[in-house]
Amino acid sequence: MNIIDILPVAVLGAILGLDVVTFPQAMISRPIVAATAAGAFVGAPFAGLTIGATLELLALGMLPFGASKYPEWGSASVVGGVLYASQLNDPPGALPASLLAALLTAVVSGWSMIKLRRLNAARAARVRADLDAGDADAITGLQLFGLTADLLRGFLVTFTGMLVFKRLVPAIVSIWHSNMMYSRAIVMSLAAAIAVAAVWKIFHLVPHARILFLAGLAMGISLIIAR
């Protein structure tokens, strides 16, 4: 994958990164959607869905409350989805290495959102006199500035993430020594444990949540055995 190939991926990352906060928050940025779209982009939607579902488990507990700081999953899931879907024959290290790349990108992307919010504040301070005067152009201009800057932010994060990891992930995969089942079991134990903790934290005040969860678990395991 060369730089020209990365550009359309970065555009996808920009659009999905924009959805996280600024526009339209329709949750096309959720990992299960974004990584699948990214996988489809390189011709392997099922691989995208697989890493997307794993990332979704990790993201379950991260709720975008107001000014809280959190990893940004939209652009990061595009990076993870493309990297994983690009590995031929799904080698054992592909999922863990691509997942790590997505997580690192999500952290950097979350940091970039804080910078963007500060940039928006600085821009608002610069046009404060116009805003106080009720200038509609200043209000619309500030919105458009924020939207454009966020689009650019997502593009740069995805582009940089791809640039860094497009060689690093295949390099890790090529010298991976753990077997497939073991690698996946470790990754899923981790992702599912974090999802269970998230579900517990979110729903522990719901009446009978513990019993409901355990009943669901029994049903889920029964389904696995039955199938």
Question: Which one of residues 12, 30, 166, 170 is an interface residue with another protein (CB under 8 A)?
Answer: 30
Shortest Cβ 156–another protein spacing (Å): 18
**Size of interface with another protein, in residues (CB under 8 A):** 115
The DSSP H or E segment spanning 216 is helix 209-226
The DSSP H or E segment spanning 4 is helix 3-21
Question: Which one of residues 1, 7, 21, 156 is an interface residue with another protein (CB under 8 A)?
Answer: 21
**Contact flag: residue 82 with another protein (CB under 8 A):** no
Q: Using CB under 8 A, which residues numbered 135 to 164 contact another protein?
A: 135-136, 139-140, 142-147, 150
* Binding segment toward another protein, per CB under 8 A, in 7-15, 152-160, 217-225: 217-225
**Contact flag: residue 170 with another protein (CB under 8 A):** no
For residue 96, say if its preceding peptide bond is cis, omega within 30 degrees of 0: no
Measure the CA–CA gap between 97 and 82, rounded to whole angstroms: 12
Shortest Cβ 158–another protein spacing (Å): 19
Question: Which one of residues 1, 7, 11, 53 is an interface residue with another protein (CB under 8 A)?
Answer: 53
* Binding segment toward another protein, per CB under 8 A, in 7-15, 33-41, 155-163: 33-41
Cβ–Cβ under 8 Å, residues 93 and 183:
yes
* 29 contact partners, CB below 8 Å, separation of at least 6: 16, 17, 19, 20, 73, 74, 77
Q: Using CB under 8 A, which residues numbered 91 to 130 contact another protein?
A: 93, 95-97, 99-100, 103-104, 106-107, 117-118, 120-121, 123-125
The encoded tokens of residue 169 equal 């992930």
In order of 26, 64, 171, the CA distances from 194 in angstroms are: 24, 17, 28
Measure the CA–CA gap between 120 and 130, rounded to whole angstroms: 15
**Contact flag: residue 81 with another protein (CB under 8 A):** no
Question: Which one of residues 6, 15, 33, 38 is an interface residue with another protein (CB under 8 A)?
Answer: 33
* Binding segment toward another protein, per CB under 8 A, in 6-14, 134-142, 159-167: 134-142
The encoded tokens of residue 77 equal 């899931």
Between 3 and 186, CB nearer to another protein? 186
Cβ–Cβ under 8 Å, residues 20 and 158:
no
Shortest Cβ 4–another protein spacing (Å): 26
Between 98 and 160, CB nearer to another protein? 98
Where helices occur in 60-179 by DSSP H, the ranges are 73-85, 94-126, 128-132, 136-174
